[in-house]
């Protein structure tokens, strides 16, 4: 293995999460130094070889700027960075009418504004190192799903930012890559479900009652959902980081590919298929 000074550097957000922690290990095994951006829990990252823990709150531009400054002073970034991976993310779900404003704001602050702040702050290091931006999106960016409007919208916005910036940064040969993971076996889904139940519990009971049938149908579908292995997503992101000429988009998982196919269908047909899949075709309005 190369010494730290000879390794290329990668800055990764959300490094303490299920995908993030596994990706840290994958990237170090592939010969990178990983600047592991975390907000709170350092978990098992502390003390790992070729890993530099960097505290950062991606929703705070000042915190992001401090992280970029700290990384720039490290020997592994003396010649810039090979990649920035915007992996930090949250899922806010539920009928949009019942989503609290603070939760809706949090959804966009982490999933959309965070990657924008990070990319802005780290671009000087990417230009210096001939690096690339890797944004972890979601298949709902292309095919929005019912009761998942916040996550769908935040990732659609991230996709638009990525597609536009890809053209903006072409003059410096800085690729902008999207990775679309399918449903994955990580704690993020349990956290999203718990947050949604808390929000529903605090909402106006009469409004909640209107969506009783929708919520029951959604819960039934989610209970049957089979989440894929973390390794599949980790390898897709790592390939996007390592590839000499990265693709614009990497898709990880059959469900992600299926939603990509759905996005190309006529709107009416697509909506009928989605309504059927989520058992909403015959759902009636609940009584307040």
Render pLDDT for 257-284 as a digit per residue (tens, 0 to 9).
999 999 999 999 999 999 999 888 887 8
pTM of the model: 0.91
117 located within any domain: yes
286 located within any domain: no
The rounded mean pLDDT for the chain is: 91
122 located within any domain: yes
CATH assignment of the domain containing 35: 3.40.50.720
284 located within any domain: no
Of the pLDDT bands very low, low, confident and very high (cuts 50, 70, 90), residue 224 is: confident
Q: Domain count for the chain, please give it.
A: 1
The per-residue pLDDT for 1 is: 41
283 located within any domain: no
184 located within any domain: yes
* Whether 8 contacts 129, CB under 8 Å: yes
Render pLDDT for 140-170 as a digit per residue (tens, 0 to 9).
999 999 999 999 999 999 999 999 999 999 9
Residue 17, domain extent: 4-277
The per-residue pLDDT for 94 is: 92
187 located within any domain: yes
The answer on pLDDT for 196 being more than 80 is no
């Amino acid at each position: 293995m190369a010494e730290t000074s000879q390794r290329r550097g990668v800055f990764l957000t959300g490094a303490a999460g299920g995908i993030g922690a596994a990706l840290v290990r994958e990237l170090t095994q592939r010969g990178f130094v990983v600047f592991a951006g975390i907000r709170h829990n350092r978990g098992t990252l502390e003390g790992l070889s070729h890993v530099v823990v960097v505290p950062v709150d991606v929703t705070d531009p000042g915190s992001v700027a401090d992280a970029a400054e700290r990384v720039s002073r490290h020997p592994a970034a003396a010649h810039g960075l090979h990649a920035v991976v915007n992996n930090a993310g949250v899922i806010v779900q539920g009928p949009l009418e019942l989503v609290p404003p603070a939760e809706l704001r949090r959804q966009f602050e982490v999933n959309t504004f965070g990657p924008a702040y990070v990319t802005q702050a780290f671009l000087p290091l990417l230009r210096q190192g001939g690096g690339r931006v890797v944004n972890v999106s979601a298949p709902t960016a292309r095919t929005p799903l019912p009761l998942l409007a916040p996550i769908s919208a935040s990732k659609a916005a991230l996709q638009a930012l990525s597609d536009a910036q890809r053209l903006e940064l072409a003059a410096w040969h800085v690729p902008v890559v999207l990775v679309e993971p399918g449903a994955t076996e990580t704690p993020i889904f349990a956290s999203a479900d718990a947050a949604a139940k808390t929000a529903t519990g605090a909402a106006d009971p009469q409004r909640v009652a209107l969506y009783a049938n929708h919520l029951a149908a959604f819960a039934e579908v989610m209970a049957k959902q089979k989440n894929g292995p973390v390794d599949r997503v980790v390898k897709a992101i790592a390939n996007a980081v390592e590839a000499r000429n990265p693709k614009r988009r990497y898709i990880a998982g059959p469900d992600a590919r299926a939603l990509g196919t759905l996005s190309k269908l006529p709107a009416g047909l697509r909506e009928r298929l989605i309504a059927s899949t989520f058992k909403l075709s015959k759902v009636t309005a609940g009584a307040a």
